[in-house]
Amino acid sequence: MNILRFLVLLLCVVSCAPIYVNYDFEKDTNFSQYKTYNYYSDMQTGLSELDTKRLLDALDLHMKAHGFSLSETPDFFIDIKSNEFQQAQRSTVGVGLGGGGRNVGGGISIGLPVGQANINRQITFDFVDEKNGKGLFWQAVSESSFNPNATAEKREVHLNNIVKKVLSKYPSKS
């Protein structure tokens, strides 16, 4: 019974794909001046319409928790872009054939891919100050695995986790 519990725990840990985030910001930014935000009206996220709505809902929820409010005359705008890419296949099975004798040798080896290649999604969050002419002052680029066949609930949870991790380092410390 203990082995079964261990295997279930191991499966849960392995199935939770990590979310990697890289942050960058202008070093002379005074983050305390930013209290309100909005999104660009012509924003092309690269996500489906439903995933865009899920992402913006999660972002609104977490921004509100950080003390920000959505405004028609914001202190900064948020721009979101994404792209999907297929990770290189790393798992292969080698099949070999060889022979030799009397100082003659030869061989053939073939690597056959096992399983499917992972699909990853990169989402870039840009915080842009147009009001003061500062431009881009903070950026987070997240990368995580993506399952195009996931249920709506799983997509919502995953996008919420991405936003939570992205905003965990905002405002950046100089």
pLDDT of residue 85: 79
**CB crowding 18-32: b at 16 or more within 10 Å, else e:** ebebeeebeeebeee
Domains and CATH numbers, the chain: 18-85+119-174 (3.30.160.670)
pLDDT of residue 91: 59
**CB crowding 81-103: b at 16 or more within 10 Å, else e:** ebeeeeeeeeeeeeeeeeeeeee
Over its length of 174 residues, how does the chain's per-residue pLDDT go in tens digits?
566 554 444 444 444 568 999 999 999 889 999 999 999 999 999 999 999 999 999 999 999 999 999 999 999 999 999 998 776 655 565 655 556 566 655 566 666 555 556 789 999 999 999 988 889 999 999 999 988 889 999 999 999 999 999 999 888 665
Q: Name the β-bridge partners of 77.
A: 38, 128
Q: Is the pTM of this model over 0.75?
A: no
Distance of CA 156 to the CA centre of its chain: 13
